[in-house]
């Protein structure tokens, strides 16, 4: 249902041994893309993880719509060298549909992941989270390690066809945030 409230975040403070990020306040509705912007060290990734319970919450509230399905794309990438896994295998794990992949990747899904370039692999991993069946998608620095073609395709897809999900993304790339997000929330240092 369009305009459905997916997430309400109020006064969220999060961290590890102690709070390192926040407070954060925002509401997210289906179809919206919210960008968390702020300087390095502001705790954007930590706050993103707090939305699904990946770090400790020290204060505030995260209200999720009942039955909310969350998909989270984390930074960094596990070493895949030598693992006999194809692109199609990887997408099948999260249930992500290949429809919408850029042509330079769609034709290589049968190949092993360790035959792909770093940029192709990063895009595929991103896609496995982005196109998985989920109401809320959390993207942590999605443009990292993508080449220009990858960034352009991602921006285009987010701008026109992201399946009516709600998306919260963290990026140091202000131009990308300005291009794709319907709203930007600043996270203080």
Binding site for another protein (CB under 8 A): 52-54, 69-72, 74, 78-86, 88-90, 92-94, 110, 112, 128-129, 138
Region label for 96, one of left (φ > 0), alpha (ψ between -120 and 50) or beta (otherwise): beta
Quote the least distance from Cβ 67 to another protein, whole Å: 10
C-beta of 66 vs 103, nearer to another protein: 66
Quote the least distance from Cβ 82 to another protein, whole Å: 3
- Interior angle at CA 143, CA 140 and CA 147, nearest 5: 155
C-beta of 32 vs 140, nearer to another protein: 140
**Closest alpha carbon to 55 in 65, 66, 63, 44:** 44
Buried b (16+ CB within 10 A) or exposed e, 87-120: beebbeebebeeebbbeebeebbeeebeebeebb
Quote the least distance from Cβ 171 to another protein, whole Å: 19
C-beta of 112 vs 172, nearer to another protein: 112
Quote the least distance from Cβ 188 to another protein, whole Å: 26
């Amino acid at each position: 249902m369009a305009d459905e409230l997916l997430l309400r975040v109020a006064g969220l403070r999060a961290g590890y041994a102690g709070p390192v990020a926040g407070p954060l306040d925002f509401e997210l509705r289906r179809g919206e893309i919210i960008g968390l912007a702020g300087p390095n060290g502001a705790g954007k990734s930590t706050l993103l993880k707090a939305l699904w319970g990946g770090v400790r919450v020290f204060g505030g509230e995260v209200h999720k719509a009942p039955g909310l399905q969350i998909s989270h794309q984390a930074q960094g990438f596990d070493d895949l060298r030598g693992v006999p896994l194809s692109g199609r295998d990887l997408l099948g794990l999260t249930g992500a549909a290949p429809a919408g992949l850029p042509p330079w990747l769609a034709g290589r899904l049968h190949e092993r992941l360790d035959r792909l370039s770093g940029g192709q692999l990063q895009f595929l991993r991103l896609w496995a989270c982005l196109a998985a069946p989920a109401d809320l998608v959390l993207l942590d620095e999605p443009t990292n390690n993508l080449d220009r073609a990858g960034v352009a395709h991602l921006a285009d897809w987010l701008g026109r066809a992201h399946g009516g999900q709600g998306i919260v993304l963290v990026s140091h790339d202000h131009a990308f945030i300005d291009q794709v997000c319907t709203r930007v929330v600043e996270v203080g240092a």
